[in-house]
Each structure stands twice: as structure tokens, then as C-alpha cells.
Structure 1
Amino acid sequence: MSAVYDCSDPAERAAGLTAAVGAARGGRLIVMPTDTLYGIGCDAFDSDAVAALLAAKGRGRDMPVPVLVGSWHTVDGLVLSVTPQMRALVEAFWPGGLSLVVQQAPSLAWDLGDTDGTVMLRMPLHPVAIEVLREVGPMAVSSANVSGGQPSSTVEQARDQLGESVSVYLDGGPAEHAVASTIVDVSGGTPVVLREGAVPTDEIAQVLGLEPDELQVRA
């Protein structure tokens, strides 16, 4: 049976973090708050758990799961190379609402779906998420809703959709912004905005030394 922990209460928060870390390390699914929306997550290196996450959402392997990290430095071991453009975006917007599609390190033993050699990475600006990530390590995290459903801005919305497929729900209150992250693909030579969201595209262009109309947007 799944458990819900109110992270506004210090004792429940501590118990919830312990339960969530234990569940993730044990190959089970958790739901946690982020700075954008609630996410359903598991250990990124546990392929059975990732498969369970996709099943819980009713999502196919053709829509691979993004990865959240708890620090900038984690990225160095996950990507083929950290380009100057990627480094600039990480330093400017992490932790925060920017997801980066990068070429993953070929040695990684994970299976996030049909990624074609890339992975989408983000470091969220939320203390509960950061604490879990720093204990578990990189986590496969997708929006906490069934495929095609409304993304969850509260833990209740997540639980209504995902139910007992999730072991631990961490309630961090309503999502402060409830806006999905901006996605920028930096896996090729030219950065491309794949989705406009929490971080304005003109700010991304500025960090990259581009005029707003020079930044490719495929949204």
C-alpha cells in the first residue's frame, strides 16, 4: 500500500525522505515535488524500475524518461562531453526549469527507453527533490500523470492518476509555478528549443550569446 508524507511537517518530512530513498533504492516508484510540477521517479540505473514507471504512465519506450540530478557535477559522468554551451546553460539556469538534451556517455548501463544515444537532464530547484536525488543519485523522473492526462501540480492529482503503482508520495504542497520546464537540445552543433516553458527563450539566447531571433525554436 502506498504512503503519503506531508513534507511541511518536519517529522513527516524526515520519515518521508527516508521512505522515498529506501523505495527508490529498492526498485520501487516514488512521487515527489519539483519546482515545476510533480514527478514520478525511480533509480535511473534500475531498468526494471524504469519499465515499471513507463507502465504506470501507460507510456511506450518511444518516449524515453528524462533524468534528474542533484548537483551540477553529476552531469560530468553522464554525458559524452560537456560543451561550452551546455556548461553556460547549466551555470545560468540550474537548479531550475531548464531541461537539456545531451549526448549520453556510451558507457552508461541504463535503459531509459529508445533514446538514440541522448538523455534529457535537469536539476530541479526544490529542496525535497534535491535531498532525494543526493541520496539516490540520478533518477529517471517523468511528470506524475498517466500518458495523455493532466500533469499534476498537487500530490492529490498525482495519486488520483497513479494510485498504488507508486510506493511513496512526498507532498510538498501545490507546485509553485506549475509550468513545465523549457527543453533545449544541445546534443548537436546548434542549440534548438524543443519546448518553451519555465525559462524564457530570450534568456537562453542571451546566455548563448545569440539574438532572440537567432535561437532555433521547434516548439
Structure 2
Amino acid sequence: MEIIKIYELNDDKRKEVINNIKKEILRGKIIICGTDTVYGISANALDENAVKRVYEIKKRDFNKPMSICLRDINEIEKYAHINDLAKKLFSLLPGPLTIVLKKKPIIPDIVAKEYIGIRVPDENIMRELCVVPLTTTSANISGNEPAYKVEDIDNEVLEKVDYIIDIGECKYKKPSTVVRVLDNNIELLREGAIPFNKILKIIKQG
């Protein structure tokens, strides 16, 4: 594994490194990168073998779905079914919100079977790396505490990935808020960096 302190690089070098990592992701490599909320383990979500490696590194139950990370909100409709209620939530993106929607068949069942959590994080480096949808699952052994900086990540996890992109400390230092959109209803699955009351106000204003 290689640790890259991305914040120490000048613009040209950073662009070169990011382009290289994107090629490596397409080859099935596994990375750890900071997001706006926590450090996550990412791989090409459309590559079932790469996704399997992520489950194995985390020691995660294969029946537990993973979320995906996208570059921007314009890509969401390619991977999930959206409606007017979901579109109202897009005003919070990029940001520390995971929106769970009914997935489209392009997302392999190993990632999620019926519904897929979607993130567009408020972290430029992570979004730049999204040459394809990336798995976004915390960089820890399942059940352990999430990491907000590289130094917090278990060595057992670090040693099994291919690249580690160190962005410094995560902006929010708190997991994302997770909501599920079911028809015209919204369900809170986890309250995190965005208070649920704020989400409800946005829906009512819409």
C-alpha cells in the first residue's frame, strides 16, 4: 500500500496523482480516501471482484449493502430511480447526506439488492476520483469506530488496500445522515452531520 499526502502536492502533481489513481480504480484496485464525513474504503462499485475485496477487508457481512459515491447529482438518475421528493434533497448535495433510493440493475446485487445509498460528498478529491461509482463504506473493521484521519485507521485495514489518499482531517468528523425515499415519504435511517429537522424543512419549503 502507498500513502499519498494529497494536500502536500502542487496542483499539477495532484492532478497527475488523481489521474493515475482513477486508472488504478478501473483496474480493480482498492483505495482509502477521506470524504467530508469519515475515511472510506472505495472500489469500482461496478466491479464485483473489487467489491468482494472491500467486504473481505472490512470483514463485513455480505448481506449488508454498501452505498456508492458519485461525482455530482446529474449522475444519480443513471444508478437509481428518482422522484420529485428525492430531487428536493439534491439541494443538500454535495454534502454529508446519504439518500437511499430504489436501485437500477446497473448496480450489482453484491453492492445492494433493492435499494442503494447514494453520496455526493462535500470533498473535491473524493468526487474527482469518481471516474465510476465508488463504494463508500467506512475504513474500519465492521463494528469498530470510523476514522476521521489516516492515523485513526486500523493497520489491519491499511495493509490490505492498494492506495491511501490522505486529505488530512475530515471536514465534519461525523457520519453522514442517511434517509430513505419511499414513494412520497422520507424515512430517517441514521441522523448524522445534517439534522433531520433541516431535511424536513427543505422538503416543506420545496
In which range does the TM-score fall when normalised by the shorter chain? over 0.9
Q: Which residue of 2 aligns with 1:52?
A: 53
Q: Which residue of 1 aligns with 2:120?
A: 123
Secondary structure of 1:76 counterpart: helix
> Equivalences for 1:164-183 in 2 at 5 Å?
164-183=159-178
Residues 68-101 of structure 1, C-alpha deviations (whole Å, 9 max, x = no match): 0001110111113x211100001x2100011011
Unaligned segments of structure 1, at least 5 residues: 211-219
> Equivalences for 1:19-168 in 2 at 5 Å?
19-80=20-81, 82-90=82-90, 92-105=91-104, 107-113=105-111, 115-133=112-130, 136-158=131-153, 160-168=155-163
TM-score (norm 2): 0.92
Q: Is the 8 A contact 1:56 1:162 kept in 2?
A: yes
Corresponding pairs, count: 203
Secondary structure of 1:73 counterpart: helix
Q: Is the 8 A contact 1:5 1:13 kept in 2?
A: no
The worse-fitting range, judged by mean Cα deviation, of 149-158 and 139-148 is 149-158
Amino acid at match of 2:5: D
Secondary structure of 1:208 counterpart: helix
Q: Which residue of 1 aligns with 2:6?
A: 7
Instruction: Give runs of ≥4 in structure 1 deviating > 6 Å.
Output: none
The worse-fitting range, judged by mean Cα deviation, of 39-48 and 115-124 is 115-124
Q: Is the 8 A contact 1:29 1:49 kept in 2?
A: yes
Deviation at 1:161, TM superposition (A): 4.0
CA RMSD, Structure 1 to Structure 2 (Å): 1.6
Amino acid at match of 1:168: Y
Residues 109-161 of structure 1, C-alpha deviations (whole Å, 9 max, x = no match): 52334x3411000100101101111xx22111201111111101111222524
Deviation at 1:16, TM superposition (A): 3.5
Secondary structure of 1:152 counterpart: coil
Amino acid at match of 2:38: L
Q: Is the 8 A contact 2:65 2:113 kept in 1?
A: no
The worse-fitting range, judged by mean Cα deviation, of 5-14 and 194-203 is 5-14
Evaluate the alpha carbon distance shift between residue 186 and residue 13 of structure 1 in structure 2; reply closer, same or farther with a 3 A threshold.
Answer: same
Q: Identity of counterpart residues, as a percentage?
A: 25
Q: Distance in 2 between matches of 1:31 and 1:157?
A: 12
Secondary structure of 2:98 counterpart: strand
Evaluate the alpha carbon distance shift between residue 183 and residue 109 of structure 1 in structure 2; reply closer, same or farther with a 3 A threshold.
Answer: closer
TM-score (norm 1): 0.87
Q: Is the 8 A contact 1:50 1:111 kept in 2?
A: no
Q: Which residue of 2 aligns with 1:216?
A: none
